Amino acid sequence: MYVIHLKNIYFILSIVFIVSIVSLSTSQKKPESVATVALPVNNKVIILDARTWWRRWSEERVILECQKQI
C-alpha cells in the first residue's frame, strides 16, 4: 500500500496545473497571416520548378560540362 503525503499531493497537483496552463496558452496562439496581392497575369506562362536544389545543381553541372566540350 502506498502512502501519499500531503506535500506530494500538492506537488502533483501543481505540476498538473502548470502543464495544463502551458498547454492551453500554446494552443491559443493564432498563426500570423500575411496579406497577399493578386497580380494580373494575362498571356503569361508561370513555371513552377519542384526539383530539389541538389538535382537542379547536378543537372546544371552536366549541361555546363557538355557546353565546354562543344
19-32 pLDDT per residue, tens: 998 888 776 666 67
Classify each residue of 8-46 as buried b or exposed e, where b means 16 or more C-beta atoms within 10 Å of its C-beta. Answer: eeeeeeeeeeeeeeeeeeeeeeeeeeeeeeeeeeeeeee
Residues 28-46 have pLDDT tens digits of 666 677 777 777 777 777 7
Q: Is 6 a member of any domain?
A: yes
Average pLDDT, the chain: 78
Tell me the residue range of the domain where 22 lies: 1-28
Q: Is residue 11 part of a domain?
A: yes
Distance CA 19, CA 25 (A): 10
User: Does residue 64 form part of some domain?
Assistant: no
The average pLDDT across 42-70 equals 76
Q: Has residue 44 been placed in a domain?
A: no
Q: Write down the pLDDT at residue 28.
A: 64
The pLDDT-based confidence of 13 (bands split at 50, 70, 90) is: very high
Instruction: In whole angstroms, give the CA distance from residue 10 to residue 62.
Output: 68
pLDDT at 30: 67
Number of structural domains the chain divides into: 1
Q: Does residue 10 lie in a domain region? A: yes
56 within some domain: no
